[in-house]
Structure 1
Amino acid sequence: MIENMNKALIMKNIDGKVLISCFKKGTEVVLSHVDELNALNVFPVPDGDTGSNMASAMLEACKNLDALESNRRDLQSVLDAIESGTLLGARGNSGVILSQIFRGFKQGTKGKKSLKSEDFALALKSAREVAYNAVMKPVEGTMLTVVRVLSVDSEKYVTEDTAEFMEKLWKRSVQIVNDTPRYLKKLRDAGVVDSGAKGFSYIIEGFYRSLSGETTVNLNVENIGTSGIVKISQEDLKYLYCTEVMVKTTRDVDIDELRNYYSSIGDSLILVNSGGILKLHVHTNTPGLAIDKALEYGELYKSKIDNMKSQHHQIINIEENPVISKEKKNYGIIVVADGSGLESIFKSLGVDIVINGGQASNPSTAQIKESVESLNARNVLIFPNNANILMAANSVKEMVNGKKIFVVNTSTIQQGLAGIFAFNSQMNLLENERNLKEAISSVRSIEITQAVRDSQVQDINVKKDQYIGLLDGNLVASSEAIDETIFLTLEKAKVNEAEVITVFYGKDVDEEDANVIFKEIQIRYPSADIELYYGGQSYYHYLISVE
């Protein structure tokens, strides 16, 4: 009798309804460990968002599953809902890779109405292939490693009982996660396992728990951020004309004189003097005077004046109606940036849409897609400005028809600004691509923040809450004092050879403190043109561009 009862309890197949239960339980397990996953930094930088990114993808898919009508809960319809939902909800690399795993899994089940354990094992092979192909440079010791090893080992676990099969997969995934430091030195140095790998293991745990009879699901989403596209409100404009000028200089440029002059006639001032070119951007009511002043230093190369009052009304209308006018413009530009100051700077440089996001707050694929669709342009350039957003941005290419989308390979805000300055709306896409690559490669990016954990990176010992300096993403300095950290990092960047140093201070930095740093940089590097702007960014006290 007991033997017959055990046979009756064997879970043989996974159909659409069972898969819904498994997926939702997997989502619940991830949600319950979001803070833990976010805290698993492999670098002492406050960028922990893997848990939130994976949860965002899972929750979007759960919405799709809830929207399925009862007569459309067959296996393939459920997998379609999971595939589209995880992609649209994907944030950061971890979210996008996860979406590609589910995409590949679906492809591996083509024509199936239900899955036996051997079918599940076969689908894992397809998941591995699609996920690895989606990443330009796959890194072992990550979520990819878990799906790769499971796709091989799952053949050994095939059994009639899918719950037993899933239990073996889950236990093996835990072993793989614990082994991730063997692949990556930075995991060993930080004393952690890979967060994406552990998140994927939690999903498998949820599948196992569901197949074992835990069918009740509680999705508490309060701790998952959903930062969206910046909302634009009606406002009065103090200065009407956005004025941009490029001058081929014929004599030495007095940046201080120009800064004082333009500050007296406008705001949103940006001055760049590099390679014999003076570039000015200013909002003013007297664009003629702005241009005349620049011409004192050389010959006019290019100028542009826009009436911002007209532009402002157009931008507001985007939120009410995605189509601004019936005639498409040639280029539309989207950037991702965090901070009111950076947002203002990008918009003043002609950017159409600024998506609020960046470090530890990656926008979803759906948000980027919505922004692209709202632009009435033939060509759309996306500046992710963060390496963790590149995959989500690239995935939009396959989701939007009728527009040519070019994702600019910017990993920092500094690279994004350099790219925007180099962009020329009069050039074709190929010419712009060449110019953008050259401009981005000429910039060195410095980021100053505080460590969120004790760590050792190469020969640098870092204590929690110490200030750390990153140069092009690599940790090069740490100190108890922020000014010492800044100047140690500047030395590593060989700033003595720089022509332009631009400093953006964050929302938690006092303006007086920023000015002290600014003046000290001027004293130490008198040959460089040095600018200071309020960026308002989170997490990073200072962003410094060196050109």
Structure 2
Amino acid sequence: MLQALDAAQVRRWAVACVQSLDAHREAIDGINVYPVPDGDTGSNLLHTMRAALDALLRAPARARASAGATLAVLARGALTGARGNSGVIVSQFLRGVAEELADVDAVLGPRLRDAVVRGARLATGAMAEPVAGTMVTVLEAAATAVGDEPSDALQDVAAAAATAAAAALDKTPAQLAVLADAGVVDAGGRGVVVLFDALYAVVTGRPAALAAAQRATAERAARVSAGGQESSLYTSRESGSDAFAYEVMYLLEQVTGDDAADHLRDVLVGIGDSVSVVGDGAGLWTVHVHCNDIGAAVEAGIDAGRPRQIRVARFADAASAEASRFARDRAVVVPSRSSEFADLLISEGVTVVMVEDGVESFAYRLLETITATAAAHVTVLPADPELVEAADEASIRAVAAGQDVVVVPCASPVQVLAAVAVHDPRRRAGDDVVAMAEAAAATRRGEVVVATEAAITWIGACDAGDVLGLADGEVMLIEPGPADVAALDRAACGVVKRMLGMGGELVTALLGAEAPDELAMELEDFLRREHPETELVVYQGGQHNAVLVLGVE
């Protein structure tokens, strides 16, 4: 049982949110009946939290050294990636939490109480016209509950928020007639409950994602049992009138004055509804409106500042899928040996299965994961050669049961990342697999490892404790031990230099569990001096078999 949330546990909460929203996405989309046929609240919430988690995983270590700093990165990532009213509201809730906890290294119960209250207040203020019975009502109920909770224990404060949110969600049909008529609770409020459930799960050590997946599966089975087929209630984007056919969103920078945001909000209220104009407190704003005049909504933004990332969605384009044994068309499954690499993949929407036992018993667990995706087409990306055989065995069994499964062998985690980066579910399944396979094959791989024993390599003998630099599986340099920071830096820069001798525009670096923080800074300085045209992306990979894994594209 946690007594405080440090930076690592805040990250675990973000991961749990993404996993739980992924499990609940379809169910949340399906109950969104207020009031325009669209049904993407669950998808919007998931996209927003994935953007927040992705921002955190891409941030340098110094930017997420404390709980407060980690929450600040999450909040800004959610704001820049917010989708729909629900995404905007969540981004403002996270902003309030981050602002309240900006000065803390670890979050105790009393500070969590204050953070939930501040977050709910900002979330409610994000909407020009808050509506009772929606997700802001559920957030306000959680804030009231933590304020009334007499205990200062972290577990009790988290439990109060989760319990009150669930109770408030059950009451939403009594507050909105359209919910009562449809016999459903509010979709955005359901998402809020998922987020607080995930927080409680992290605090208590419960497997939130597993429980969420089981609950979503049970709900889907209940709908099928009750109606003969799964319900397809495709509905609105959280609030508004069906008089407006489009949703317009954009980020706004370089706002022209202190009153510009307020004026922009007034203009948008005059041309549509579901208006929100909210900022991060540092000059970046997210704008959202439902309207018919797209040009007027964008022009209003131009008058107020500099719009970017403009997105327009037409509600009538939403289409229901035929009920079948498959709940979705496409999925990507990746086995992972480290939680850090798993988190990175989860932020990209990938289904991850941890390799916790021996490879011999792994095929059955991988098969269970493939089946549980409920996807008609599944691509499996084993991150090292040892896992390919297990992936092949699992795919054969899944194909025999009616799923289309393809294994794309990858020799390194960086090749998996390259494949995931080009994955596009809008392409034909076959074309998508080809694109991923080509991206993986085109990524050259390197490693920096510490020799565990004396050996003979292609370039000479090495002793235990020496630092080895490898490219595409072959030793290309040896730095005499001990494996201190200087030796690791020389080996890393040497491998990158030789790999870039064949060309390259992007270097991806995965820091191992034992890698010193200085390693990333040294690589950055080296590339700035020697290859300023090359981009460097650094992630925490958490691998134990290599201090550093490199990819060049």
Q: Tell me the TM-score normalised to structure 2 length.
A: 0.44
- Structure number with greater Rg is 1
